[in-house]
Amino acid sequence: MGAYSTASLLRDTVRISPADARRRVADANALFGSTTLTGQPIEPQLPVAAQALADGVISRDHVQIVRTTIDTLPAEHHAEVEQLLVEEATRFDPVKLGKLATRTRAHLQPEHVVLEEQQARKRMEFSMIEDIDGTIIVRGRLSPECAEVLKAALSPLAKPAGKDDDRSATRRWADALVELAHRVLNSDTLPQDGGRRPHLAITISYEQLRDQIGLGHGDFGAMITPQTIRQIACDAGITPIVLNSEGQPLDVGREQRTVTATIRAALIARDKGCSFPGCDRPPEWQYR
């Protein structure tokens, strides 16, 4: 078939990714051995894991963790660590086994784990990709310690709001991320952007807002309905701008806050929270 390697042949035959093909070949060689170019047999590296896999008591994900752990350790530790991890693999899922493997490597080769931690930071990434329906798909990768920071910040905000809170866990975490951003923007702790404190900026014409037709737009391209903008404007700094027929600004007024501290207290006493139809946000989330 013209394949230049076993992984290449597997990739083309089974139609899997190159990375997955390489992992499968590496697992197979470690479990069952291989041969050199001259035909000399190479003994399997993981005979205990091979038997456990054949017996159906561990999965391929378990095998990958055992193999990658063994690969980082000196040969004198291979048999002992393989036996330990395979025994634990019959009791724990791959995620928990991976944590046990990390602790094992940290005990036997602490300098290697430190290096992995540094490499994990270099691999961090975060992206927000706009989908065809206008929603944003959030993707990323964080090092373990950075993920702990984010989880610590989000966890208090992701708890159910009460016994009637029927949001899914994933929805609550998404809401928590947005709420965290709101709180940071309102905290006056971010560096200035363009000479101003970072803020959510939405532009819409007075007529559209009044008649609730059309769409406003955010600085980053989001299209937002007048109904949502009216909800946001319950407590916002509003800057009137006069535009000509070509959309060029002719006059920019001063920003005006719509809610003073005194009015805020009165609104909380009156409404006990957000008064927008269908909104159940508590008072501390409103009128900021």
Residue 238 confidence (pLDDT) above 70 = no
For the stretch 128-187, pLDDT in tens is: 998 888 888 999 999 999 999 999 999 999 999 888 999 999 999 999 999 998 888 878
SS3 category, 157: helix
| 281 compared with 141, residue with greater pLDDT | 141
Residues 6+ apart with CB under 8 A from 17: 11
* Half-sphere exposure at residue 78, Cβ-oriented, CA atoms within 13 angstroms: 15
Q: What is the pLDDT of residues 239-248, one digit of tens each?
A: 666 566 666 6
pLDDT of residue 142: 95
Q: Tell me the pTM.
A: 0.59
Tokens 């002992």: give the residue. 80
Q: How confident is the model at residue 213 (pLDDT cuts 50, 70, 90)?
A: confident
Tens digits of per-residue pLDDT, 45-61? 899 999 999 999 999 99
Q: Pick 85 or 277 by higher pLDDT.
A: 85
Residue 33: CB atoms within 10 Å: 15
Q: Give the three-state DSSP class for 128.
A: strand
Position 261 scores a pLDDT of 59
Residue type, 122: K
Q: pLDDT tier at 287 (50, 70, 90 boundaries)?
A: very low
Position 66 pLDDT exceeds 90: yes
Paired sense of beta strands 223-224 and 41-42, if any: unpaired
Q: 127 pairs with which residues across the strands? A: 139
Question: Average model confidence (pLDDT) for the chain?
Answer: 82
Among 12-16, 140-144, 205-209, 217-221, the range of highest mean pLDDT:
140-144
The β-bridge partners of 238 are: 256
The mean pLDDT of 206-211, rounded to a whole number, is: 80
pLDDT of residue 194: 60
pLDDT the model gives residue 281: 64
Q: How far is CA 125 from CA 24, 40, 144, 202, in A?
A: 26, 44, 13, 28
Distance CA 106, CA 167 (A): 39
Ranges assigned E (strand) in the chain: 34-35, 41-42, 125-130, 136-141, 202-203, 216-218, 223-224, 237-238, 241-243, 249-252, 256-257
32 falls in which pLDDT band (50, 70, 90)?
A: confident
Token duo for residue 91: 């009791």
- What is the distance between the alpha carbons of residues 217 and 225, in angstroms, rounded to a whole number? 9
| Cα 257 to Cα 195: distance, rounded to the nearest angstrom | 19
Distance (Å, whole) CA 258 – CA 235: 6
Tokens of 206: 């007075």
- Give me the torsion for CA of 99, 104, 108, 111, rounded to 10°: 10
Specify the pLDDT at position 25: 86
Locus of tokens 């499968």: 24
Q: Which helix (H) or strand (E) holds 78?
A: helix 78-89
